[in-house]
Amino acid sequence: MQTLFITGGNRGIGLELVKQSLQNNDVVLCTFRGDTTPDLPLTQEERGRLTWLQLDVTNETDLARLPALLVNQPIDVLINNAGVIGPDNQSYNDMDTQGWLHTFEVNTIAPLMVTNALLNNLRLSDAPRVVTVSSQMGALHRESTGMIAYRSSKAAVNKVMQLLSLELKAQQIVVCPVHPGWVKTDMGGSEADITAEQSASGILALARRLTMEDSGKFYTWEGKEHVW
């Protein structure tokens, strides 16, 4: 049994990560925004292992509240999953710059700030791991056009996670960004390659086996190393 902290657990890949972690007998702390959490058909025992926390990952007040809510709570795996696709207008010659900034706040800056807010909890684990859901759309070796806000935010979070892996090496905290596949969710759309169930299952299998040897590498949801 391990304890996972999953951001954006109310829908899409995050919700699947929550469901499958509960099926794996893990303890799940997961976050949502707004007033309602999904109505999941859970057993009493599963409900006992699930805690919903209100968190807008860009909100400093929400983040500052976390340590007090989680005193002495070990976290084995933090999954920075919450993300946005960015503004409607994000081409080189038609850019919504406020939307671009917001995309960076959620996709790039928040994963670092959430990790910082939970560092004491991660330190309480015997094998702490930080998995940040990035995207191959941020991989520098791929040449493709459009979606500049989204692509640049994911390229940047890859670099942030590589840096963080070095910063946290001495504390034996594993840090890896992961590409979740092209996934059938609100973000990925119905034409995507794989289901949220497949993606979440791969991400959780990867998270389970990560060691310090793997820290600082970029992975696919299938557990293979991804080219940066």
Ligand X SMILES: NC(=O)c1ccc[n+]([C@@H]2O[C@H](COP(=O)([O-])OP(=O)(O)OC[C@H]3O[C@@H](n4cnc5c(N)ncnc54)[C@H](OP(=O)(O)O)[C@@H]3O)[C@@H](O)[C@H]2O)c1
Residue with tokens 């080189």: 92
Rounded Cα distance between 153 and 151, Å, is 5
Q: Which CB atom, from 104 or from 210, has the smaller least distance to ligand X?
A: 104
DSSP labels, 174-191 = EEEEEE--SB-STTT-TT
Rounded Cα distance between 212 and 51, Å, is 28
106 belongs to the binding site for ligand X (CB under 6 A): yes
Q: Choose, by CB under 6 A, the member of 187, 197, 205, 214 that binds ligand X.
A: 187
Tell me the window of 38-46, 56-64, 200-208, 213-221 that interacts with ligand X (CB under 6 A).
Answer: 56-64
Q: Choose, by CB under 6 A, the member of 183, 203, 204, 210 that binds ligand X.
A: 183
Cα distances from 60 to residues 14, 117, 154, 184, in angstroms, run: 21, 10, 21, 31
Residues 135-174 that bind ligand X (CB under 6 A): 135
Rounded Cα distance between 123 and 129, Å, is 10
For 21, the 3-state DSSP assignment is helix
Q: Which CB atom, from 56 or from 76, has the smaller least distance to ligand X?
A: 56
Q: Which CB atom, from 55 or from 131, has the smaller least distance to ligand X?
A: 55
Q: Choose, by CB under 6 A, the member of 4, 12, 152, 216 that binds ligand X.
A: 12
Please report, as ranges, the residues that interact with ligand X according to CB under 6 A: 7-8, 10-14, 33-34, 55-58, 81-84, 106, 133, 135, 180, 182-183, 185-188, 192
